[in-house]
Structures are given as structure tokens and as C-alpha cells.
Amino acid sequence: MYKSNLKVAIRKILKHKGYSLINIVGLAIGTACCLLLFLWVQDELSYDRYHEKAKQIFRVAFQYEANLKVRQYAGTPAPLGPALVREFPWIQKIVRFGYQNLLVKCNNKLFYEKIFFTDPEVFDVFTFPLAIGDTNTVLKDPHSILISEEIKSKYFDRENPMGKTISLRDWGDFIITGVFKDIPRNSHFRFDFLGCFANFAKINFDQWGMYNYTTYILIANESPIDSFKERMPQFIDKYIGKEKRKDYAFTYFLQPLTGIHLHSNIGGEIEPNRDIGTVYIFSAAAMFILLIACLNYINLTAARFAERAKEVGLRKVLGAVPAQLIRQFFSESFLYALSSLPLAILLAEIFLPLSNSLWGKTLSFHYFDNPFFLAGLTGIILFVGLVTGLVPALFLSALQPIDALKGRNKSGSVLTFLRRRLVVFQFTVSVLAIISTLVMVKQLHYVKTTDLGLNKENIINIAINNSEEAMLKYETIKYDFLQHPNVQAVSASCFFPGQPRWNMNYIYEGLDERKNNMTGCIPVDYDFIDTFKLNIMEGRGFSKEYPTDETNAFIVNEAARKEFGWDTPIGKELNIANWKKGNIIGVVKDFHFNSLHQKIGPAVLYIEPPHFEYFSVRVNL
């Protein structure tokens, strides 16, 4: 029976070649778009799931309340992890990470790298396979260091790096004791160097006020996770003190490892994360595209209703029952879905490089090594076959033989009504898609034309953090730059617009010193304001005519003035993290230093030559 249905379906496709081609191409395009979007969604949902104990790993995060605002931060103090193990028996192990950008000298090569440091138990918690070395001993010595396979190729080519020395500026020499396989791309943070945490934290091991480290815990199966929140007030009372907890109003909470990438966008993230809302949008877009392709098939089927009605009438006269007709129509729809699949895969492969460039990923289709993708592909075929075969199966199989042969049928009227409604639905979706596109275009136009508060056009940013000599002789290099006729201005700074800046505690006149308030801090040189053409609203900019500007002068933005509650900030005293004290000499107009998605926060500019890592050169183009 099924063989007969298949033969009839093939004859139908071959007989109406134009009609069949339109259906197959339409379904292929919809399926190809769905495959690409499905691949992206699957990749986003796969983050950190490659760890064998992923479901048992949690990150400890920090939440505090200041000025009636609740803030969350991924940084934690060094002694937190050991204290948690002592107080919560169901916590099996803890792993801490810290990192710092350091100048690396190795094998006559010099680069500026981000160096991570962690506890030796890292291999008991996370799945980071070693290509060379023993997980039980590689981080035993405080001056040992591991490198990734990529770094091995970068510094040593084909040479064996084991036992070689890596010099870290201001940290001394480290011995390579192992090589780990490159961290998968679908991880919420990645690293290429891994040193010993004991050597990194040093004097901060017992400091509860230094929130510079990321803490992960490994729990036992069926652990009482809810007790963590319940017992946290007592934990904080014991280790930090009731008075401090009252002043800071803070607590610690747990984040599942597999949920960090899509559900965590708190402060102090090692790398930027995605939002689960984007996954929902992409998933909905995939379903809409596939549904529209199915509706095109249904509309074309409805257009041939009269011809198919006579066919149904003849079949029923010859003894066919509704169940046989339903199987026939579903056979045709599934055959169309399967016929469109090769073309859909071909289109998806053709447009995958373009999609990767738009997404900033390097995805690929692993058809036989990816069971989830195969399950999704099967689901798409089933969805297309069922949806496209449902309408003709229900309406055409219900026709009475005499009415069908004489052209009198109520189902045709109902199908015509349905077809019109489907066309309206398709036009509605198309209009919504056009409106969404226009909104996106306007958003892009806004991003390109909005007043950022600074002028970033014709600015070239040059990193000098990989050259100690350049950092020490930045004034000489600036002078050489300015000799070129096409260079208008040059500035040195620790960050340039678009990079995350430092956030530090601040104290000002009249503020309770126990309050935990933070502001953005940007070390700059004297020419930063002129180079980026910031607008001074009050006071003055930095000037070499005032020798104290380099040691105890601050310039704040309007958001900082509002945050501090000052009507006349000039001359007010400010203390940054009990490290740098000085007076406000000027106020600049608010400028976007980070993404436009983020609200402009308080920012403080000050002169700090040792921390300059970039030149910003304004050129004539």
C-alpha cells in the first residue's frame, strides 16, 4: 500500500513539474533558513555543557545594595571558597580564577597576554583535557604554568615546550609543566595560560574586601541548594560581621554553570554573555519562516482544488476509503519535504559562511556527529510533512464522490475561505517583517548618527601594552607621531572608547566611608579631552601649566556630578579607593564609553602615566 502511495506521489511530482518545482524550492528556502537559525540556537544552548560535571558546577556571585539600587557582581574574595567548603558539607570542591594582562617573554618572542591563575583542583571540577602533562602535578609548584595548544604553536612551533621558561613582567619566571587542549569556543570564558592561584592571590588570600576573583563550586548530587540562600545571613555574620553586612546589605548567590552564558549579564563577567531573549527571537523567526513556506505549499494545493476534487471523486467511486486518501496526501507532502531537503542543505552550506560572519561564529554542520541536530532535522521534516499534508487530507478526503465529480462541494468554499485567510496571514507576517526591518534600519541609523559625546571618527587606536619601552617613553612616541603632517592629535590612555573600564570605590566630602559606591575610572593623559573632542561644561581640562594635575586632579562627567549630588563640583575633594586623592577641576559632557545598550554611568578621568596601554591617534583622511 505504501509503495503504491509513493509511486502515485512520484507521478504527481513528475507530471506537474512547474508546480512541483515551486513547492520544492519554497520548502527548501524555508528549511535552509530554519537550519541556519537552528544551528545558531543549538550553539547558544550548548555553552559549558561539554564539562562532564556541568550540572554539578555553580558560580558564586555577589549582590549588594547601595543608594537603593541592587547590583550584582561576578567577583568574589579569595577566602570565600574555603569558607564555603567548611560551612556547607555538600560542597565537594571549590575552584577560583583570577587573571591579569601581563607582558610575556618566551623563546625570544614578546607579546601582551591575558594570564589566568587557578587552584590545582581545577581538573577535578572542569573538563579541561591535557595534551601533555599530568593533571595531578602540573600546578603543584607555585611557579608552574600551563599553556594551550594554540600558544604552543605561537611561541614554540613544533618544539616541545615542557620545562621551558616563560617570563611574566613583574612576576618573574615560570616553568611550563603542561599543555592543555584549546578551550572549546562554546565556553563562557576561555584562556590560553593557566598559573597557580596561590602565587596570584598572595597577600589577598585572607582579604574579604578584595572582590577580584571568580569562584566556582562542585556540589554533590541531590544537594540541598536551597539551604545556601537560607544560611547565607548566618554565614556573612560569621565571616564578615553583622555591622558590615548591615552597611553594605549584601549576600552571595549561586548561578548554574550551564545558565551563565544566556542568563547572566552582571558586573565583572570575564567575557560578555548573550541574552536568552535573543535565542527566543531566533527560534520564533525560524518557526515563522518555516511556517510561511508551508503556507505557500497549502495555498498552491488549494489553487488546484478543483482538479484534485475530481481525482478524489474518481478514487472514491473505485472504492477508496478516506483513510487511504489521507495516507496518499500525507505521502505526497512528506515526499515534497524530503525532496526539498537536499536543496535546503545545499543552500544552508552556501550561506553558512555569510551567516558566520554576521554572527561572529565559526559554526559548521556535523550531520552525523550531532544527534541533537539530526533530531532537529527530523523534526523539521515531520513538521513540514504534517502541516502541508493536513489541509488537503482533511478537506479533500471528506468530499462526496457525486458532488466532487459534478463540481458541487461545500469543502471547496471552506477551502477557498481558508486560502484567503492564509494569504492575509502571509501578508500580515510580511508587513511585520518589513516593519521590523525598518525598525532595525532606524536603530542602525541611530547608532551611526547619535551624539556619543565624543568624536571617534578618524581615530586609530594603537596598543602599546606589548612593549614596555613604548609605555615608558610614550611622550617621545607622541612627539614623533605629531611630526607627521596627517596627524592632528595624539593621546595616551589606559582604555579607549568601547572597552570596559575600571570600576572603583569612591569617597567624597560628606559621604559615609562605609558606603560601597563605585564609579568608572579612566586613566588618561593631558591630551585625551582634546583628541576625542570632549565638551567641557564647567571648569577646565588637564594642563601641564598646573603641576598638581598629574597627582591630585580629577575631571568628572555629568552623570558623576548627578551621582555625587553636587551643584558646583569644582574644588570638591574626591578619594578613589583610598589610593588617589584630589580635587575636581572640571566637568565634561556625558559621553558613551561603552555600548549604547548601557546607560551612561559616573566616570572619573585622571592622569596616570604608568597605566597607559594605548595611543589614540587622530588623523586626516
User: Which tens digits make up the pLDDT trace of 441-466?
Assistant: 787 777 777 778 888 888 888 877 65
What pLDDT does 243 receive? 47
> For the ranges 128-132, 319-323, 382-386, 565-569, which has the lowest average pLDDT?
319-323
Does the pLDDT value for residue 31 go beyond 80?
A: yes
Residues in a beta bridge with 146: 178, 194
Is pLDDT at 305 greater than 70 in this prediction? no
Q: Of the ranges 45-54, 212-221, 417-426, 566-575, which one carries the lowest mean pLDDT score? A: 417-426
User: Any idea which residue has 547558544 for its cell?
Assistant: 44
Residue 432: the pLDDT is: 80
Q: Residue 400's pLDDT band (boundaries 50, 70, 90)?
A: low
Instruction: State the DSSP H helix or E strand holding residue 420, giving kind and residue range, or none if neither.
Output: helix 410-449
Q: Answer whether residue 436 shows pLDDT above 90.
A: no
Mean pLDDT of the region 353-375: 82
Span 464-482, mean pLDDT?
Answer: 73
Cα distances from 200 to residues 105, 112, 466, 472, in angstroms, run 18, 17, 21, 25
Amino acid at 207: Q
pLDDT, position 497: 80
pLDDT at 123: 94
Q: Which three cell numbers stand for residue 391?
A: 489541509
Which of 5-9, 54-58, 138-142, 442-446 is the least confident region?
A: 5-9
Confidence of residue 419 (pLDDT cuts 50, 70, 90): low
DSSP assignment, residue 469? H
Task: Please report, for the chain, the start and end positions of each structural domain, with discontinuous segments joined by +.
Answer: 2-46+276-423, 75-223, 459-619
**Cβ atoms within 10 Å, residue 563:** 19
The predicted model gives 460-489 an average pLDDT of 78
Strand 518-524 and strand 603-607: the pairing is parallel
Q: Is 70 exceeded by the pLDDT of residue 410?
A: no
pLDDT for the residue 317? 56
Beta carbons within 10 angstroms of residue 325's beta carbon? 21
pLDDT average, residue stretch 255-274: 89
Confidence of residue 60 (pLDDT cuts 50, 70, 90): very high
State the SS3 of 188-256.
CCCCCEEEEHHHHHHHHHHCCCCCCEEEEEEECCCCCCHHHHHHHHHHHHHHCCHHHHHHHCEEEEEEE
User: Where are any strands of DSSP class E within 67-164?
Assistant: 69-73, 91-106, 109-118, 130-132, 144-148
Query: CA nearest 339: which of 95, 556, 103, 20?
Result: 20
- Kindly indicate the confidence band of residue 195, based on its pLDDT and cuts at 50, 70 and 90: very high
Q: 3-class SS at 15?
A: helix
Question: Phi and psi (nearest 5°) for 92?
Answer: -80, -45
- The whole-number average pLDDT for the span 239-250 is 63
Asked whether residue 292 carries a pLDDT value surpassing 90, the answer given is: no
Residue 7's pLDDT is 65
The cell for 575 is: 578619594
Mean pLDDT, rounded, for 328-347: 84
pLDDT for residue 187: 94
Given this model, what pLDDT does residue 261 score?
A: 93
Q: What is the pLDDT of residue 87?
A: 92
Nearest by Cα to 22 from 286, 293, 288, 428: 293
pLDDT of residue 393: 64
Structure-model confidence comparison of residues 325 and 93, the more confident one = 93
SS (H, E, C) 472-491: HCHHHHHHHHHCCCCEEEEE
State residue 308's pLDDT score. Answer: 61
Residue 500 has pLDDT above 80, yes or no: no
- Range of weakest confidence among 90-104, 107-121, 460-474, 568-582: 460-474
8 Å CB contact between 270 and 74: yes
**Distance, CA of 434 to CA of 284 (rounded, Å):** 16
Task: Provide, rounded to the nearest whole percent, the portion of the chain with pLDDT above 70.
Answer: 82
Q: Does pLDDT of 124 surpass 60?
A: yes
Average pLDDT over the chain, rounded to an integer? 81
